[in-house]
Structure 1
C-alpha cells in the first residue's frame, strides 16, 4: 500500500506545483461560503436560484449549491431527489424511489457525505451514503463540491457533499416553519403522509432551534424477473419466469436541534447540535417462479412442464444515523480557531423471514411477445399447486458503526509577497469501530402445522402488467406471526464465521492551505496528509485471524479562480483523493476450502484506491439568477476495487499454506481506472426579455456526457460501476402572480449497478415531475402561507434491467405519485 497519489501527481503536475509554491497558494476555512436561508416568498424559484448562484460565484472551488427553498419547491422525497437535478449528478433508484447518487457518473463509494463539515460513515458498509435516509426538510443548503479543497476529506474521489443544517441565528427572534402534506401512490392506492416542523428563537447572544419530520409512503411495486439466454441461432432460451408483487411502506423520521451562544469577544460561538435520522422499509413480497423442466425455446410455448417455487416475505430493512457535535469558534490573536468534537452511531439491519415453498408442478403456456409484460397461463388456479416442501428461509444482515471525531481548524489573514492571503491549518482524528455481518441466508424447517393457504386473502395483485397467473395477496404478517409463535426465529449463533465483520479504523489527517488574492482572482493551494491504521478480525476454521496495516496518502491540490470579467469566471483545479475499501470488503473472514485451495470472502489486504483529477469550468453570470457554464473533468484511479477471481498466497488465511498459490474470489484491485466528462449548465429568466405576462417564464437545463473504464486483473476493460454516458435535466418554470409552476424532466442512459451483479446493467431511465405552489396574498406580520401540489413520475415509467448476455432480467413499475400540502413560515 503505497503513496501512488503523490507519485502520479509528480508525473503530471510539476509545473503547477512550482507555480503554486512561487506565488504562495491559498485557502479557505470549511465554512467560508455563506448562503442565507431563503424563505417562502412570491418568487421562491428566482430568489433561491439567486442565492445559490451568488454562493457558487464566490466559492474558491468548483461547487454546485442547492438552497433551502429550492429543496422545498421541488416534489422531493429525500436528498437524493434534491441533488439529482444538479449538473453531473445521477440518481439510482430502488423500486422507483431515489436512494444513491452517482456524482460525476462515478461509483457511489467515491462520494463523501457530511453534516456541517463533519463527515459521517455510510450506515450500510462504512463508506457508501444512502441519501433516502435523510429527508430534504432538515437542510438549509447542500454543497456538492466537485473539486475538493485540502480542508475537505480526502475520501472524495468524485466529490464531497456537505449538508448544512439550520441554525437558530438564521432568523431573528422567534421563527417557525411547518409543512403538512398528504397524497397517494397510484398503483395500489397507497397513502402518503408528510409532516415537518422547525422552530427557533434567538436574541443577540443566545439561540435555540429544534426540528422534527416524519414521512410515510405506501406503494405497490409490480415486478417481473427473468432468467433468459439465447442459443447460437439467436433463439430465446427460457430458464425461469418470476412473477412478484411487493407491498411496501417506507418511513423516515428525523429530529434534532441546536443550542448556540454567540459572543462579541474572543469566544465567538459555542454550540451543541444533534441529529437523528431513521429509515425503515417494510416489505411484503408475494413471489412465484416458474422454471421449465426441459429447455424452453422461443418467445411462446404451449403445455410446458414447469417447476414452481413460492416466496412469501414479511421483511424489514432499516438504517439510522445519530450524530452529535460540540463546537466552539474563537479568536486567539490573529488566528480564528474552530474546534469540533463529534460522536456518530450508525446502524443498518435487514431481517427477511420467508416461508419458501419448492417442488411445485404445473403444465403451462407462456408468451413473451411483449417482453416487459410476460404471460404464463395455468390450467387451473395458482392456489391449487401443491409443493413438495416448505422451508423457513431467513435472510439477515447487520452492521453497527461507532465513530468519534476530533477536529481543529485555524486560519489567519496575512500579507505574503505583497498579496492579501489567508493561511489555514487543520487536523482531524477519526476513530471508527464496526461490528456485524454481511447478508446471509439461514435455512431451517417451517412448522408443519401451519397451512399457508389459510392466509391467502384471495385479493388479486395490483398490477400494471397482465396478472395471467392469477396472483393473489397473502396475509404475510399473519403468516409470520404464526411462524414466530410456533418456532424460534432468532438467528443468534447461526451467523457463519466467514460472514462476520469486526474492523477498527483510525484516520489521522492534517492539512495546510493558502488562499491568495490577485487583481485577476485568487489561487487556493495546499496539501492534505491522511494516515490510516486499521485492523480486521475474523475466524477461519475456528482459528482467530487478525490482519493489521497502515498507510499514508499525500493529497495536494491547486485551485485557480480567474475573474475574466465582472460576470465571467474561469476555474482550473487539480486535486487528489483516496477511497478506502468498504467494511464488507475489508473483513478478515472468509470461507476456506483447504482441499481445493480456494478462498471466498473478505480481503483484508485490499489496497485503497488512489485518484488524481483535473477540473475546469467557465461560468457566465449574464443576468440576475441566471448562468451559462461549461465544465470538464478528468480522473485517473489506481487500485480500482471490484469483485473477481484472483491468485493469492494461501498463508494469508491458512498459515500452513504460506507460499502456496490459492484461488481467491472476492474484492480485488484492478488498475488504470479513468473517468472523464463534460458538463453544460444553463439557467435563464425571461423577466428582462419578454413582456408581461410571459416575463415570469424561466428555464433550467444541464447535460453531462461522460465515459469511464478500468482494467481487470486478466486485462479486460470494463466501465466503472454507475457510469451513464449521458445524463440531463431540464426544467421549465413560470413564476408570477404568487404562483410558481415547475415541470422537470430527468434522463440517464444505461449503467452498471454497483449494488447488483457487475455483469448486469440498468436500461435508460427518465422521469417527469410537476410542482405547483401558490403563496397566499396575506400580510400577517412576516407570515407566509403557501399551498402546493406535487406529482412524480407523470409518464408512469417502467424501469428495466438487463443481464450480461443482453436479455432482460427485471422490469418493475410503481405508478404515479401525488402529494398536496401547505407550508407556513413566520
Structure 2
C-alpha cells in the first residue's frame, strides 16, 4: 500500500466539547460561481494532493474534514489524546480516492468518544447520490423512506425521523416537512464534506435524538491543500418512464461548481459554490384506498370490509433543487479564528397528477357484486355499481377523472457567525446562528364526472360501475363499464375544484458557547468542559381554502350547489396508459386553468371561518424556548494495564412550549374575527396554552482499548426528543350534543417530551493501516412515552387543560363537559437491536489491490404495537419507522484510472404515515432492495468521465394495510441514467 508521508498538523479547539485536529488536507471542492455563471455560494469538500491519484467524478481523497462551524454535534472526538491518535492515523493516506474515503471514515469512528458512523467527502461526492440521504443509508442501522422515488426521511435504529436531531455545522436545522423530521433530499450531496451519525450521546451534544443525531458539516477553506481549487461537475440524466406519463419529460441534469481559496498568508479563506439538480418528476401508481373499519352486508348476503375505492394516477412535472453555500474564515493568529457562513437550498417541485378515481364503495353509496373476500373479511375485488335506490342528487359513487396539483416550493437558510479562541489550556467557542425554513404546497384536488342532462338545469351523475381486483404487492386490475364515456368531453363536466394549501414556517434563533480547560497530569480526566445553549424556536402553520362546486354534484350539505362545468375538446386530451399500466382505462387530461377561465372563475384561497372553519382551527403557532447548560469531563486513564478513554457529564435542559390558536365556542360568545373572504365570525376566541419542563440528561461513554486494533465501547445515557411540532398546535373546533360541549382538534400543546434511557455495548476490530474494520454491537432503548394524536376522551374536564367551556344560553351556566379529541402521551416501549459492520480495502495483491467491499446489517425489535382498521379488519401495526432487518452492501474497484462501484440497500417491511390520501395514512411499506452503480474514467489528472445508474431494477414502493393482499399503493419511478464529466483545476 502506497502512503503519503506525515503532514504538518495543528490543534484547533472547538466546542461544545472537544478539539479537532486539522491537517493540511484534501477537501472535496466546496464552491464557486465563476465568471460564466451567476454568483453562487456553496462549498463541497475539495482538494488535489500531488501524491494522490483520484478517480471518477468528485472522488477526491480526503484526509480530514472539519466543518466551518465545528463544535456542537459536529466533532468526531473531544478527547485530546484521541485527537492525537486520529491525526497520526489520518496522516497515512492511500493512493486512490474511494478507498481513502472509506479509510478516513474508519479512522473517525475508531477514535471517536461516542458510538458513531461517518461518511466523508469522497463517499458523498463519489457515489451516485442525489442527496445526503443516499449516503446516510449506507451506514449500519440507517434507512430511508423514498418519497417520489427519492430517499427523503431518514429512519435510525428503528425510529422515524421525528426521533432524529439534525445539525449543520453544529446548528439545529429547521424542517420543511411540517413536522419535526428533516427532508434530507433538501441537502445536495455536493455541498456536504462529512456526515456523522451519533448512535450514543454525550453531554455536549444538543439534545433531540432518541433515535440518533445526524451532524452535517461543510468544509473549512483554510484546510484546503492548495491555495486555490476549482471543481466543475456536470452530468445529464435520462429516465425512460417519463414517456409513459402525460405531459412529462425524460431528461434532466446535475451541475455543481465550486471554488476554494486561501489569501493573506493563509489567514483568510473563501469558499463559494453552487449545486443544481433538475429532473422530471416521474411516478405511476395503482392505489387501493383505506377502509372505514366497518363491516358491510353485500348484495349476496356476505359481509366484508370495503375500501373507499381505487385510484390510477400518473404523476408528472419537474423538480429543481438549487443549493448555495458561502464561507469566509479569518484566522489572524494561532489563537483566534472567526468564521461566517451561509447555506441556502431551494427545492421547487412542480408536481401534478392525472388519472381516474373510483370512489365511495362504502357507506351505502355503491352496490358490490361478484365480491372477492380475503382473510379477515377485506374486500379484494369485485364490481362496484351505482346504488340506484338513492334519491337524485344524493348519489356519491362515481368513476372520477382527477387533475391534482401537489406543487411544493421549499427553502432552507442556515447561517451564522462562529468564534474560536485558544490560549494554553483554555479553549473557547461561541456561535450565533439564524436558521429558517418555509414550505408552500398548493394542494389542488379536481374531479370531473360523467353526467346525463348536461346543459339542462338539473344534470345528474350517470349510473356507473367499475370492476377491480387487488393483486397484493403487484399492480392490480381495473375496468369500467362504457369506457368511451370517460374519454368523451361531451359526457363529462368538472364537479369540483378545491385548493387546500399547506404553508409552514420554521425558525430558529440560537446562541451557544462552551469553555474547555485541559488538565495536566490528572490520572483520570484530560479536560473539563462546560457550556450553555439558548434557542428560540417558532413554528407557524397557515391553512387556507378555496372551493368551487361539490364532489359528485351532491346536493347535501349545500342546498344550492354551484353547477358542474361542461368540458370541451379544447381543454381536454385523451390519455391512455403504457408500459406496466397498459390496459387500464383511458381518461381525459383536464386543463383546469382553461376550464375555470372559460367560466370566469378565479381561485383565491383564503382563511375561511364560515364554510371551512377547519382552516382557522388548523392554523396557529408554536413557540419553544430552550435554555440548556452542560458540564462534561473527558476520561483518559488506565484500568488493569489497558487504556480507557471516553467522557462523563450531564446536560440540563429547560423548555417553555406554548401554542397560540383559536378555539370554537357558541355563536355570539366569541371575539369578532374577519376571515379572508370578509366574513366576520363571532364564535371563536384566541387561546394561548402551554407548559414548561426541566430535564436532566446524564451520559457516560467508555472505551476499553484491549490492543491498538481492538476495543470495547460501553455507553449509557438519557436522551430526549421533543413532541412533533405540528402535534402541539392549540387550535380546536367544537360542537354541542345533548347539552354537552365537545372539542376536536387532535393536537395538544401540553404534550410531554419523549425521553429514553439507552444502553450500548460494542466490540470493534480495526485492520492494519486503517484498511478495514469489523464491529458488532447491541443496544437497548427504554422509551417512556410515544405521542398519539386524534385520541378521544369522554366526559373530559376541560378546565384541567385551560379550555374555556362556553355558556349555555338556555340555562345561563356553562355546558356540561363532553368528549375531547386531542393528542396525548401514550405509554412507551422498548427498542433493542444488533448491528454488524464489515469493511475491507486492499485485501488482494497486484492489479486487484484496488478492490474493496463493505457490508452492514442491523436487526431491530420492539414489542410496541397499535391497532389499525385502515385495511378493514383490526390488525396490529408495529412501531413507525422500524424495519426488523436493514442491510447495505457495496463493492468497489479503483486503480487510479478506472473506478466502479455498485451499492445495494435493503430494508424489510415497516410502518409509516407517508401514504398520502386526503390525510396521511399509517400503512405498512413492503420490503425493498434498491441497487445503484457508478463507473468513472480519468482522461487526465484534471478531467474525468462518469456513467451511473440509479434504481437499476426499477424497484417500486409498495404499501399495504396490515395484510399484503390489502393493496395500498404500488408506485413505479423508473431508473435514471447519468453521464457527465468532472473538471478539476
Q: What is the TM-score when the length of structure 1 is the normalising length?
A: 0.90
Find out whether 1:154 has 2:207 as its counterpart: yes
Q: In the TM superposition, what is the alpha-carbon distance from 1:333 to its structure 2 partner?
A: 5.8
Contact 2:499 2:605 in 1 (8 A): no
The residue aligned with 1:384 is 488
Paired residue secondary structure (1:372): strand
CA contact (8 A) 2:221 2:269 kept: yes
Pairwise CA distance, 1:31: 5.8
Residue in 2 aligned with 1:351? Answer: 442
Q: 1:794 aligns with which of 952, 955, 961?
A: 952
Partner secondary structure for residue 501 of structure 2: strand
Q: Is the partner of 2:805 in helix, strand or coil?
A: helix
Equivalent-residue separation in structure 2 for 1:396 and 1:607 (angstroms) = 29
Q: Deviations over 1:457-493 (max 9, x none)?
A: 334345422342023544466557768x731423255
Is 1:656–2:656 an aligned residue pair? no
Q: Name whichever of 807-816 and 619-628 sits farther off.
A: 619-628
Q: Which residue does the alignment assign to 2:268? A: 206
Aligned: 1:471 with 2:587 = yes
CA drift at 1:672: 3.0
Aligned to 2:477: 374
Counterpart residue number, 1:223:
285
Higher Cα Rg, which structure: 2
Deviation track 1:379-403 (CA, whole Å, cap 9, x = no partner) reads 3322237457611211211111222
1:677 has 2:859 as partner: no
- Determine the C-alpha separation between the residues in 2 that align with 1:409 and 1:429: 12
Map of 1:24 onto structure 2 = none
Residue 262 (str. 1) matches residue 336 (str. 2)? no
CA distance in 1, matches of 2:21, 2:824: 39
Q: Write the distance in 2 (CA, Å) between the matches of 1:570 and 1:249.
A: 49
1:559 and 1:406, CA in 2 relative to 1: closer, same or farther beyond 3 A?
same
Larger deviation, residues 84-93 vs 574-583 = 574-583
**Residue 98 of structure 1 contacts residue 132 of structure 1 at CA under 8 Å; is this kept in 2?**
yes
SS in 2 for 1:639: strand
How far has the Cα of 1:512 moved from its partner? 0.5
2:376 alignment partner in structure 1? none
Alignment-derived partner of residue 663 in structure 2: 540
* Residue equivalent to 1:505: 624
Q: CA deviation at 1:425?
A: 0.9
- Residues 412-431 of structure 1: matches in 2 within 5 Å? 412-415=517-520, 417-419=522-524, 421-431=526-536
CA contact (8 A) 2:636 2:646 kept: yes
Distance 2:290 2:632 in 1: 56
Aligned to 1:173: 227
1:3 corresponds to: none
- Whether the aligned pair in 1 keeps the contact of 2:468 and 2:476 (CA below 8 Å) is no
**3-state SS in 2 of match to 1:815:** coil
Which residue matches 2:860? 706
1:341 alignment partner, one of 410, 413, 432 = 432
Whether the 8 Å CA contact 2:545–2:615 is kept in 1: the answer is no
Matched, 1:816 2:975: yes
C-alpha distance 480-334 of structure 1, shift in aligned 2 (>3 A)? farther
Conserved? CA contact 2:492–2:567, under 8 Å: no
- Return the alpha-carbon distance in structure 1 between the equivalents of residues 867 and 566 of structure 2: 51
Report the aligned-residue RMSD: 2.9
Q: Does 1:197 align with 2:284?
A: no
Q: Distance in 2 between matches of 1:269 and 1:518?
A: 31
Counterpart position of 2:907: 748
1:539 Cα deviation from its structure 2 partner = 0.9
- What residue number does 1:324 align with? 415
The superposition leaves residues 703-733 of structure 1 with CA deviations (integer Å, 9 ceiling, x where unpaired) of: 101012447799x985321100001011122
- TM-fit CA distance, 1:356: 2.3
* 1:803 aligns to 2:961 (yes or no): yes
User: What secondary structure does 1:640 align onto?
Assistant: strand
Mapping of 1:543-622 within 5 angstroms?
543-595=685-737, 597-601=741-745, 602-622=747-767
Out of 516, 532, 537, the residue aligned to residue 411 of structure 1 is: 516
Specify the alignment match of 1:132 in structure 2: 185
CA 1:579 to 1:717, structure 2 compared with 1: closer, same or farther past 3 Å? Answer: farther
SS at match of 1:81: helix
In the alignment, is the contact (CA less than 8 A) between 1:670 and 1:713 conserved in 2?
A: no
Would the alpha carbon gap of residues 147 and 368 (structure 1) be closer, same or farther in structure 2, given more than 3 Å must change?
closer
Structure 1 residue 581 displacement after superposition: 1.7
2:607·2:615 contact (CA, 8 Å) conserved in 1?
no
Q: Does 1:396 align with 2:501?
A: yes
Give the SS at the match of 1:187: helix
Q: What is the aligned partner in structure 2 of residue 315 from structure 1? A: 406
Per the TM alignment, residue 134 of structure 1 is displaced from its structure 2 partner at its CA by 0.9
Q: 1:236 to 1:407 in 2, by over 3 A?
A: closer
Partner of 1:729: 888
Q: Residue 367 of structure 2 aligns to a residue in which SS?
A: coil
Give the Å deviation of 1:692.
Answer: 3.3
Q: Which residue of structure 2 aligns with residue 776 of structure 1?
A: 939
Seen in structure 2, the aligned counterparts of structure 1 residues 536 and 420 have a Cα distance that, compared at 3 Å, is: closer
After TM superposition, list the pairs within 5 Å mapping 1:688-707 onto structure 2. Answer: 688=843, 690-707=844-861
**For structure 2, which runs of at least 5 residues remain unmatched after alignment?**
1-14, 29-46, 49-53, 56-95, 244-249, 373-379, 387-396, 450-460, 550-561, 665-683, 807-813, 869-874
1:539 and 1:808 mapped to 2: Cα distance?
39
* Cα deviation 1:280-313 (Å, max 9, x = unaligned): 2111111311245212412665795572122212
SS across alignment from 1:693 = helix
- For 1:23-172, list aligned pairs within 5 A: 29=17, 32=20, 37=27, 39=47, 41-42=54-55, 43-125=96-178, 127-171=180-224, 172=226
- Could you say what secondary structure the match of 2:241 adopts? coil
Report the Cα distance in structure 2 between the residues aligned to 1:260 and 1:691, rounded to whole angstroms.
43
1:207-241 deviation per Cα after TM superposition (whole angstroms, max 9, x unaligned): 11111111011032111111377999898966522
Once the two structures are superposed, residues 431-466 of structure 1 have per-residue CA deviations (whole angstroms, 9 ceiling, x without a partner) of: 12222236x764334896673653223343454223
**Which is richer in strand?**
1
- Specify the SS of the correspondent of 1:432: strand
Cα separation, partners in 2 of 1:107 and 1:365, compared to 1, 3 Å: closer
Q: Is the 8 A contact 2:385 2:463 kept in 1?
A: no
Aligned residues: 790
Tell me the distance in 2 between the aligned counterparts of 1:482 and 1:677. 61
| Alpha-carbon distance in structure 2 between the residues aligned to 1:237 and 1:540 | 35
Query: Distance in 2 between the 1:250 and 1:664 partners?
Result: 42
Q: Which range moved further: 464-473 or 64-73?
A: 464-473
Aligned to 2:321, the other structure's residue is in SS state strand
Find 2:238's aligned residue among 184, 188, 191: 184
1:530–1:553: 8 Å Cα contact kept in structure 2? yes
Q: For the Cα contact (< 8 Å) 1:346–1:400, is it kept in 2? A: yes
Quote the offset at 1:264 in angstroms.
Answer: 2.1
1:220–1:333 Cα change, 3 Å: closer
Question: Cα deviations across residues 656-691 of structure 1 (Å, max 9, x unaligned)?
Answer: 379965433342211132111111011112x34x34
Provide the C-alpha distance between the structure 1 equivalents of 2:351 and 2:568, rounded to a whole number of angstroms. Answer: 18
Work out whether residues 215 and 252 of structure 1, in 8 Å CA contact, stay in contact via their aligned partners in 2. yes
Change (3 A) 1:47 1:425: same
For residues 36-72 of structure 1, give each alpha carbon's deviation from its aligned partner in whole angstroms, at most 9, with x where no partner exists: 5354714221010111111111111111110111111
Report the alpha carbon displacement of residue 824 of structure 1 after superposing the two structures with TM.
2.1
Secondary structure at 1:565 match in 2: coil
